[in-house]
Amino acid sequence: MVMRFKQFSSNLEHPFRKIKGKNMRSSFMSISLKLFVILQILIISPNLFAQTKLGYVKVDEVIRKANIAKQAEDRLKKEFAPRDNELKKMGAKLKNLAAKFDKEQSVMTNSDKQKVQREISNLEKEIQRKQRQAREDLTQRKNEELAAVVEKARAAIKKIAVAEKFDLILENSVYASPNIDITQKVIKALNDQK
């Protein structure tokens, strides 16, 4: 068993055993060249970044504070007000029907009780179905309106970046100096649009 291990281990070659003479020199030259290139990049890169003009924008704040976002929210409220009113009326009807049932069930026949309970159950299901549908439709419309607001915000950001010769605009970073924050400029640009 020891013999097998010795035979097996002698067949394994150490990765550095092949590097001898000329191969070792070319390997060293290759590593030296790579280090030289990396050092040159590190020396030059501060100069590159010194010439780069950076900006930062808080997109969530733009969406909250821009007039177009508030207008979109008002449109949604107006659009979904009839549904909301219908659901409120249905809820009031359900409440009245349940109160009436609780009050009169002691004098009702079994068939009348079952009829009213079925009516209450059907009305509850109808309200739940309409609420679910209204939520889904509202979510879809919110996403559509948000996409339109974000598209306009991006256009305003791009316009400011070109006008003020920014090389890079960042969104929602962990920290940014107030000197490079263009959020208020973007909000103003959006509010000035007609």
Give the model's pLDDT for residue 140: 96
CATH code for position 161: 3.30.910.20
Domain residues for the domain of 38 are 2-51
pLDDT class of 40 with cuts at 50, 70, 90? low
Residues 7 and 73 grouped into a single domain = no
pLDDT digits (tens, 9 = 90+) for 11-25: 444 444 444 455 555
CA distance 168 to 164: 11
Give the model's pLDDT for residue 28: 62
Give the model's pLDDT for residue 26: 62
158 has a pLDDT exceeding 60: yes
- Number of domains making up the chain: 2
Residues 172 and 115 grouped into a single domain = yes
Residues 125 and 163 grouped into a single domain = yes
Residues 65 and 96 grouped into a single domain = yes
Residues 88 and 179 grouped into a single domain = yes
pLDDT class of 5 with cuts at 50, 70, 90? very low
Give the model's pLDDT for residue 132: 97
Give the model's pLDDT for residue 120: 93
Residues 28 and 68 grouped into a single domain = no
Residues 45 and 13 grouped into a single domain = yes
pLDDT digits (tens, 9 = 90+) for 177-191: 888 889 999 999 999
